[in-house]
Amino acid sequence: MPELSRRNLLGLSGLAAIAPLTSAFGSNKGTATASASADARERIRKRYFPDLTLLTQDNRRVHFYQDLVKNKIVLLNFFYAHCEGICPTVTHNLVNVQKLLGERMGRDIFINSITLKPAEDTPTVLKEYAREHGIRPGWTLLTGNPDEVELLRRSLGFTDPDPLVDRDKSSHIGNIRYGSEPLMQWTALPGMTHAESIAKAISRDFPAAKG
């Protein structure tokens, strides 16, 4: 795994909003009752996963929580189509992650990439971006109302502690978050972590069901 830069460390501190849930609610075992687990899951949903309406690269209307996150293992990141910074590198890396995850992609593992510039990145633009980068089924590119996309970015913790840096889209955090919504387990990694390491981490944390 590449050495974490100060920028990545700051970014991961912003993404830490959900990460502690791994230890707090990461298992349904032990003394926790099914009711308590359901209550915890609902609190997490309300705080971190607003069920906003978004548009996919296929111009399909979806609800963020109900359609894209609930009952799924998901990998989340933010980008924008005409980025000349980190976005193309992270996207290329995730294309390799998608290949390494093989048949699990689109079956029980999904990637959701949300544009930071929804006013510019229409479904048509996102469709072309997907074509150019070889993005395959199981990976959804998303746009929507700018205010709601901003709410989603903040809810998911993709923020920088420095407000000046946070407002600069060209200097956005290139990190990813992945986790299992039903298990309430989440973690974050730099988006430029080696694709093999990301794929192995996801497969280790959330192994494929047998049979």
> Which CATH number characterizes residue 201's domain?
3.40.30.10
Question: Tell me: the pLDDT tens digits for 105-159?
Answer: 999 999 999 999 999 999 999 999 999 999 999 999 999 999 999 999 999 999 8
Question: Tell me: the pLDDT tens digits for 32-71?
Answer: 467 788 899 999 999 999 999 999 999 999 999 999 999 9
* pLDDT at residue 27 tops 60: no
* pLDDT at residue 24 tops 50: no
In eight-state DSSP terms, residue 105 is: B
**What is the span of the domain harbouring residue 105?**
6-205
SS (H, E, C) 5-33: CHHHHHHHHHHCCCCCHHHHHCCCCCCCC
For residue 80, being part of any structural domain is answered with: yes
For residue 81, being part of any structural domain is answered with: yes
For residue 162, being part of any structural domain is answered with: yes
Q: Do the Cβ atoms of 113 and 149 come closer than 8 Å?
A: no
For residue 211, being part of any structural domain is answered with: no
Residue 156: closest CA among 11, 27, 58: 11
For residue 210, being part of any structural domain is answered with: no
For residue 1, being part of any structural domain is answered with: no
Number of structural domains the chain divides into:
1
Q: Which residue has the tokens 């294309």?
A: 95
Question: Tell me: the pLDDT tens digits for 166-206?
Answer: 787 776 778 999 999 999 999 999 999 999 999 999 999 99
